[in-house]
Structure 1
Amino acid sequence: MVHWRHRSLTAAALSGMVLGTIGLLGWGIGQPLLIPSLGPSIYLHTLTPHLASARAGNTFLGHLIGLLTGVAAVYLTGANIVPSVMSAEQLTWPRIAAAVIALVSSVGIQAGLKIQHPPAAATTLLVALGAIDPTWHGIGTVLLGISLLTILGGGVRRFSLVRSD
């Protein structure tokens, strides 16, 4: 029991350090590098480092697929010309269609490529519902945040794997 408690505290501290670092870097460059789906990603890296879904490749590629399928679905359905769900505080048919198309596409592509990273489904929905700007600037900002999480998360994953032995 003490072992699990110590591991939990270590995982919590590492998670906070990684997200704090990304947040501070984003603040320093004036870009919102933190998105909600990075939280579950770092959780996987620190608490379940042995799972395939915690691997760096799965993390980056999963989020990339989620991001790109979300962007494609937004433009395919015309959701880019309706307000985001968060600002309008209501769902519109284009946003619902974008969410469904993006999620089905993201899950299908990840499964077909044997890439397992469930938090990427949140990235897909963040784009489809309008929380992430589907422009080049928005895509670049999210990619930078995902890249930092992948790099830093990979480091804490390796540390967590060593500590769990």
Structure 2
Amino acid sequence: MPDRHTLREWLRQAGRAGALLAGLGGVVWASGLPFVFPSLGPTAYLFATDPDGPESAPRRVVGGHALGVAAGLVAYHLVAGDVTLTAATGPGTLASLRLAVSGVVAVGLTTVGMLATDTGHAPACATTLIVSLGILSSPLEGAIIVLAVVALLVEHELLLRLP
């Protein structure tokens, strides 16, 4: 059992991670747009548990996710086209192969892009998969992803100013 100080810190970090996503959850509820998606969870976790760490730096967070979106869009539209992970593609089909290749290409492009620009942010590789597998693969959805990341960053910066 952790000591009281450790438990208090864990609860504070858990509350911060949840609070970071709560605002965007409200945007989803009010607009019906996908302002919450799986890779925001790891980003919120990093903000809550390691706010001064290198992967929490604003340039890395926004740059990494933006590269992930761009690489995902390129890979998806060049390789997978109209196929989506949510559709039943079946084993051994051309559609499932196209999705697999799209995901592999997107992660490779994202990794190279983050290394070349020093914007390494591991959750961005989840973002690129979300896009390249056809889950949020339109340019509008890509813009929403980047906007949501910026909003999460702004919330993080505001929370850091609280005592």
Q: Could you say whether these structures have the same fold, taking a TM-score greater than 0.5 normalized by the shorter chain as the test?
A: yes
Q: Which residue of 1 aligns with 2:125?
A: 121
TM-score norm. by structure 2 comes to 0.88
State the 1:143 CA deviation.
2.0
Does structure 2 conserve the Cα–Cα contact (< 8 Å) formed by 1:56 and 1:153? no
State the 1:107 CA deviation.
0.7
Query: For 1:68-83, what aligned pairs fall within 5 Å after superposition?
Result: 68-77=70-79, 79-82=80-83
Q: Percent identity?
A: 25
| Deviations 1:80-120, CA, capped at 9 Å, x for gaps | 222x1123265711111111110001011101211121000
- The residue type equivalent to 2:9 in the other structure is R
Tell me how large the CA RMSD over aligned residues is. Answer: 1.8
| Deviations 1:36-74, CA, capped at 9 Å, x for gaps | 000000100110123100112211111000011000001
- Find out whether 1:145 has 2:155 as its counterpart: no
Query: For 1:11-160, what aligned pairs fall within 5 Å after superposition?
Result: 11-77=13-79, 79-82=80-83, 84-88=84-88, 90=90, 92-132=96-136, 134-156=137-159, 158=160
SS for the counterpart of 1:88 is coil
Given the superposition, is the C-alpha separation of residues 18 and 90 from structure 1 closer, same or farther in structure 2, using an over 3 Å criterion?
farther
SS for the counterpart of 2:75 is helix
Q: Which residue of 1 aligns with 2:8?
A: 6
Consecutive unaligned residues of structure 2, counting only runs of 5 or more, are none
Aligned length: 157
Does structure 1 conserve the Cα–Cα contact (< 8 Å) formed by 2:34 and 2:141? no
Consecutive unaligned residues of structure 1, counting only runs of 5 or more, are none
State the 1:140 CA deviation.
2.3
